[in-house]
Amino acid sequence: MTVQLVKHSAADEDVVFAARVSTKGAESLPTGTFGPAEKGLINFLMRDRHGSPFEHNSMTLYVEAPIFVLREWQRHRVASYNEESARYRELKPVFYLPADDRKVVQVGRPGRYTFEPGTRMQRYTARRSIEMSAYEAWAYYREMLGEGIAREVARSVLPVSIYSSMYVTLNARSLMHFLSLRTEEEAARFPSHPQREIAMCAEQVEAIFAELMPVTYAAFQANGRVAP
């Protein structure tokens, strides 16, 4: 899984001037000053869930991940997406295989289940089955392309384990909502239990966010990882 920052216009100062326009008008324009008062304002906004000031920024990410991860990600309809198209270009033979420590057995009923490591044979069967189906699907895909069949038809044999790529553009408020659902933090006010593969992407997103907007990120952490 790969998540890279492409470009951004995102800083803690963006939250401050967006919030202060309510009471200061033109005097709210950025001055370059950032101190305890500004940090306190961000924490207040986060704590009391005044969300709109966190929307006046932008981050564009490049993501490479299996298609099943991208489809989960795109359920978050608070971002803009552009994805690689298998209609117009031949995909590369890069497929996802679960790591040896990936838990493969679901125990319990929906909404109240946990994942367990499973036996060595279960992990072997899962990995081998995914790998062999990928080899077979790729062979059929290449055969159809070799026969001159359109890419948009040939792609239908490819499994969701094949990698694709996309750009994602979103603001800090949307990003925090994504993190609240796609990371596993027991200290969160509303703990979430996402699929491991999308959590691997979310962890990279979180590291980018923490670097770009450290004060906002600290307030997010301090207030139970709840998006404002």
Q: Known catalytic residues?
A: 182
pTM above 0.85, yes or no: yes
Q: What pLDDT band is residue 163 in, cutting at 50, 70 and 90?
A: very high
The whole-number pLDDT of residue 30 equals: 76
Q: What pLDDT band is residue 26 in, cutting at 50, 70 and 90?
A: confident
- CA torsion sign for 154, 159, 164, 169 is positive
Token pair belonging to 177 = 């909502």
Mean pLDDT within 55-81: 96
Whole-number Å distance between alpha carbons of 71 and 69: 5
The whole-number pLDDT of residue 109 equals: 83
Share of the chain above pLDDT 90, in %: 86
Whole-number Å distance between alpha carbons of 117 and 115: 7
The whole-number pLDDT of residue 110 equals: 77
Determine how many CB atoms are found less than 10 A away from the CB of residue 201.
25
Token pair belonging to 183 = 């990371």
Mean pLDDT within 53-75: 97
Rg of the chain taking only CA atoms, in angstroms: 21
Token pair belonging to 178 = 């994504």
Whole-number Å distance between alpha carbons of 31 and 13: 9
